[in-house]
């Protein structure tokens, strides 16, 4: 199931540390693998709600593969269409 594309910026979580991952210029499966590595490296903090991952990408395929993969891991992903690409916010619900 593909995450919905939002047209407005996502609000920043006030209490969560934001981990920015800029993978513009990469194409899948590299986008997915780099994102999953970052998620796995920060899984304890993500699960506690202490951080969230924000991915910047210009690969449209990543807007489907990344949310689907992290959903299977128990996380939520929100996709926003931005000028020049997409921003994917990954967090624990």
* Residue 3 pLDDT: 53
In angstroms, the CA 1 to CA 25 distance is 24
Summarize the confidence of residues 12-16 as an average pLDDT.
Answer: 57
For residue 11, pLDDT beyond 70: no
DSSP letter at 1 equals: -
Sign of the C-alpha dihedral computed for residues 28, 34, 38 and 40 taken in this order? positive
Domains annotated on the chain, with CATH: 29-91 (3.30.1370)
pLDDT tens per residue, range 29-68: 999 999 999 999 999 999 999 999 999 999 999 999 999 9
* Residue 14 pLDDT: 55
């Amino acid at each position: 199931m593909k995450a919905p594309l939002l047209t407005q910026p996502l609000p920043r979580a006030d209490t969560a540390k934001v981990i920015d991952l800029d993978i513009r210029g990469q194409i899948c499966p590299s986008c997915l693998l780099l994102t999953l590595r970052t998620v796995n490296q920060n899984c304890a903090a993500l699960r506690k709600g202490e951080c969230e991952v924000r991915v910047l990408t210009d690969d449209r395929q990543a807007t489907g593969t990344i949310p689907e993969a992290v959903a299977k891991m128990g996380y939520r992903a929100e996709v926003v269409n931005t000028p020049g690409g997409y921003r994917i916010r990954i967090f624990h619900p």
